[in-house]
Chains A and B, each alone.
Chain A
């Protein structure tokens, strides 16, 4: 059974049909890429999975739970974590506090009020900041980081939730080539404990990191399969040569 099963999901914004009967299966332990031309519905699908939008039709089942109408906090508690396309770090909090805020989300109200886990979580926060090369900026305000560093902080915050499924919306958007390369190396180790769905325009990045791809075009699934299959797909080649 797939970790995530999407069946017949549709979503409209007034007269615009953003998604039309989308079916996707994501197996546990895989890196799954969503690609397609601008406006093909990639981000909308990711937001429908995370709960930022509700699907008009269809069902989304995650880890055996029907989450189609679940609120974002309910999905997060089941193990879904989203990194937004536009960075949404908390700019007036320190880098450290941004990660602590994410990590402590599973704590009870009483433990939060009594600050019982502040010390215990310090090691975990520090380890994440070290891994994402942010330890030297731990006490700076998140709003003072460069764009690339904010993207890394976002990914660190999303991973801090210890998700079963991580959704990354354009994690390398606005990054330099070197930052993109580093991002790839930062993401590779998470495969051992986390499934990934990634929306990305950089096809080289996607090809290097993903096992499976789903190609969307005008809100529909154009094709899906492993990276080699998709690279050879005439339908995909046509869309990417004529519309990208």
Chain B
């Protein structure tokens, strides 16, 4: 898959619009992985991942506008820190109460946060109100400026690969085993002595960090960030990417993002369904969720391989590998 990703921009040749689309897919994949860390790995239903994506995007846009600074080595860690801290703040409210919160409480809490932030930003002139912030200062590395195209594509690819490997390391670790157990029966884990809510808050914060990184790249790549980039619309799209590809697999959400974005691009270009393509896309997604709830990756790998194993490998090598 990495090989395909390396070849794509060369294969697309002079179709710069498609290179832009491919770059966008890589960046949005970070948002999808961020949601998968929450739901697929840890059982936290977050309908507000775009909040961390959007706020980090706004912060780096403001740093560019007001401080005229956009050096990669500083702004990307800054965006990660913004995502991490903001998600940590939400985790403190939603997850760290005396009693474990319900899935619905967390889902509604994150959704409300995402919606409230979108409304707040829409009316705040300092951040461009409903128009958002445009003409964002280009991302720089020394004197080199990343513009749309090949260079930005490979930057996004490197970031995505690093995030994927980091998330995979987490999933395959003994901590990943705790998360896998937590997803199945968190009450049982509390009786083992695990402070389950603390683990949830940790993963939720890390997922916020990943979303923040994605938001920064999105801002620089699009040259624009608006209220819609932190609202329930994009938050829900992240859920769809993940469910479409297969939650809990980390690679599934990336495939889901590719599929949904490419479908969107293709359907929007067909004259016969130009006006109703969101409905067609919605029906396709509905069919996947209803008839293939493990996502289309579930067609290719067994549950055993999807969940993986953490201890010793089976002598005959028939288990799902370490942590999936």
Interfacial chain B residues near A84, Cβ < 8 Å? 188, 191
Whether, in the assembled complex, B224 has its beta carbon less than 8 Å from a beta carbon of chain A, the answer is: no
**Complex CA–CA separation, A229 to B322 (angstroms):** 54
A117 touches B174 (CB 8 A): yes
B193 touches A96 (CB 8 A): no
Whether, in the assembled complex, A226 has its beta carbon less than 8 Å from a beta carbon of chain B, the answer is: no
Q: In the complex, what's the smallest C-beta–C-beta distance from B246 to chain A, in angstroms?
A: 15
Chain B residues numbered 127-175 whose CB sits less than 8 Å from any CB in chain A: 170, 172-175
Chain A residues numbered 99-128 whose CB sits less than 8 Å from any CB in chain B: 100-102, 104-107, 109, 111-115, 117-118, 122, 125
For A105, A106, A117, the residue with the greatest tally of chain B CB atoms inside 10 Å of its CB is: A105
- In the complex, how many residues of chain B place their beta carbon closer than 8 angstroms to a beta carbon of chain A? 33
Whether, in the assembled complex, B262 has its beta carbon less than 8 Å from a beta carbon of chain A, the answer is: no
Other-chain residue from A76, A113, A114, A122 in contact with B190 (beta carbon distance below 8 A): A76
Q: Which of B45-53, B113-121, B274-282, B305-313 contacts A (4 or more CB under 8 A)?
A: B305-313
Chain B residues numbered 182-202 whose CB sits less than 8 Å from any CB in chain A: 184-185, 187-196, 202
A90 touches B188 (CB 8 A): yes
Whether, in the assembled complex, A77 has its beta carbon less than 8 Å from a beta carbon of chain B, the answer is: yes
A97 touches B175 (CB 8 A): no
B192 touches A92 (CB 8 A): no
B309 touches A113 (CB 8 A): no
**Complex CA–CA separation, A35 to B79 (angstroms):** 60
Interfacial chain A residues near B75, Cβ < 8 Å? none
Q: Mark A113-149, 1 if CB is under 8 A from B, else 0.
A: 1110110001001000000000000110100000000
**Complex CA–CA separation, A51 to B190 (angstroms):** 10
Whether, in the assembled complex, B225 has its beta carbon less than 8 Å from a beta carbon of chain A, the answer is: no
A107 touches B190 (CB 8 A): no
Interfacial chain A residues near B188, Cβ < 8 Å? 84, 88, 90
| Interface bracket on A | 35 or more
Q: In the complex, what's the smallest C-beta–C-beta distance from A2 to chain B, in angstroms?
A: 22
Whether, in the assembled complex, B298 has its beta carbon less than 8 Å from a beta carbon of chain A, the answer is: no
A93 touches B307 (CB 8 A): yes
Interfacial chain B residues near A92, Cβ < 8 Å? 180, 184, 303, 307
**Complex CA–CA separation, A139 to B189 (angstroms):** 20
**Complex CA–CA separation, A199 to B199 (angstroms):** 32
A112 touches B175 (CB 8 A): yes
Interfacial chain A residues near B178, Cβ < 8 Å? 101, 104, 112
Whether, in the assembled complex, B177 has its beta carbon less than 8 Å from a beta carbon of chain A, the answer is: yes
Interfacial chain B residues near A81, Cβ < 8 Å? 191
Other-chain residue from B187, B194, B195, B319 in contact with A139 (beta carbon distance below 8 A): B319
Other-chain residue from B98, B177, B196 in contact with A97 (beta carbon distance below 8 A): B177
Interfacial chain A residues near B174, Cβ < 8 Å? 100, 104, 107, 111-113, 115, 117-118
A90 and B193 contact, Cβ closer than 8 Å, known pairs A114-B173, A118-B311: no
Interfacial chain B residues near A109, Cβ < 8 Å? 175, 202
Interfacial chain B residues near A52, Cβ < 8 Å? 187, 191
B311 touches A100 (CB 8 A): yes
Other-chain residue from A76, A91, A139 in contact with B191 (beta carbon distance below 8 A): A76
Nearest to A98 among chain B residues (CB) is: B181
**Complex CA–CA separation, A220 to B55 (angstroms):** 58
Q: Mark A45-71, 1 if CB is under 8 A from B, else 0.
A: 000001110000000000000000001
Whether, in the assembled complex, A94 has its beta carbon less than 8 Å from a beta carbon of chain B, the answer is: yes
**Complex CA–CA separation, A179 to B175 (angstroms):** 34
**Complex CA–CA separation, A104 to B178 (angstroms):** 9
What are the 9 closest A-B residue pairs judged by CB atoms, nearest first?
A76-B193, A112-B175, A96-B311, A139-B314, A105-B192, A72-B190, A105-B193, A112-B174, A90-B184
Using A90-B180, A90-B185 as known contacts, list a sample of 11 further A-B pairs with CB atoms less than 8 Å apart, ordered by residue number in A: A71-B190, A73-B191, A73-B194, A77-B193, A90-B188, A91-B184, A100-B174, A109-B175, A112-B173, A125-B311, A141-B304
What is A's interface to B at a CB cutoff of 8 Å? Answer: 50-52, 71-73, 76-77, 81-82, 84, 88, 90-94, 96-97, 100-102, 104-107, 109, 111-115, 117-118, 122, 125, 138-139, 141, 157, 161
